[in-house]
Amino acid sequence: MTNDEIRTFIDNAIKENRVMLFMKGTPQQPACGFSMRASGALNALGVKYAALDILPDQRIREELSGLSGWPTIPQLFVDGELVGGSDIVMEMFESGELAQLLGVEQPELESEPEPEQPVQQRPIGLENRLN
């Protein structure tokens, strides 16, 4: 494929899919933590989305970044508009804004378990003999 064909393919993918995620790896096998978090947020919302692995050809990333003006991966598009990368997606997910944008219910976020309190042991009685 030529660079123009790659750019046309990317542009069509964004237009044809309401929710489009460009990522490293796949939702089933993310190849980086940022892509894992972005796809995980979409999975947690139960939304249908298309995903494209940018790793097989460096030109995909180059053409995508040229088209979007966004340098990092992942990149999430909704209704043809760039939402942002992993940090923005996670902030929107945690605030409920992503669910609202996608028209789905925000899932109940599991509260973090309370850290176990360390067992209090009696201090060892040492006598300071350094003086």
**pTM of the model as a whole:** 0.80
Going 80 to 86 to 91 to 96, the CA torsion angle's sign is positive
- Which tens digit of pLDDT belongs to each residue from 4-47? 999 999 999 999 999 999 999 999 999 999 999 999 999 999 99
Name the nearest CA neighbour of 98 among 89, 107, 87, 85: 89
**CATH code at 3-102:** 3.40.30.10
Distance in angstroms (rounded) separating the CA atoms of residues 110 and 108: 6
Structure tokens at 24: 């490293």
Q: Residue 13's CB: how many other CB atoms inside 10 A?
A: 16
**pLDDT tens digits, residue range 55-74?**
999 999 999 999 999 999 99
